[in-house]
Amino acid sequence: MPRTILITGGSAGIGAATARLAADEGRDVILTYATSRDAAEEVAGYVRSKGRKATVIQCDTGVPGDIDALFAALPTETAIDLVNNAGIVGMTAKVADLTAERLSRIFAVNVVGAILVAKGAVAHMRAAPERGHIVNISSATARLGSGNQYIDYAATKGALDTFTIGLADELAAEGIRVNAVRPGIIETGLHAKGGEPDRVARISPMVPMRRPGSAEEVARAILWLLSDEASYTTKNFMEVSGGR
């Protein structure tokens, strides 16, 4: 039986697209959300319409107790794969505009939270009847730095890249593969949350492919990395950025 996919931040964007595509491929899904329960339930409704199970769990990955509660709620007999997707971005800013409070929150969610989620998933995989795999959702900004825009967000994704390398090395001998996907300019609501709802249209002409990507295109890369077709692929960074 296919492993259940646990997707953090599954209520919108790449997480939601991954959940829908996973259901299309015949897989059950566990979705977490921080605040948007209605959106998460809408995604879950799609999964159920495909005849698959969908579980919705509230989890702010910036709160360690929420992460503990998430894994305490998962039955040990449920074999899982992890899509470590939950992340936040602040308003467009330069270094001079950053505050300790902003940095603490974005690193708590995007770095500390992602590491703790992976820790919980690995412990669960070791106790489950079958090992699963992990895909961390990084960003092309980890390579580009995103100066004058989202330099703190880029820094968190750089940290996640380093964690991906180390975790892949730790777990390879156990049969747990760890990879990352680096999306580029993707049509999601993330840009509006950063105060730039027109960013996709403005930057897309600078992408070699001359267009933005879709959340579904990223989801296809994620699901391939979790599949048996990627059975000899670990510590890999898949760019889904149109060549940017």
The answer to whether 32 and 57 are in contact (CB under 8 A) is yes
Active-site positions read 153
Please give the Cα distance from 21 to 152 (Å, whole number): 31
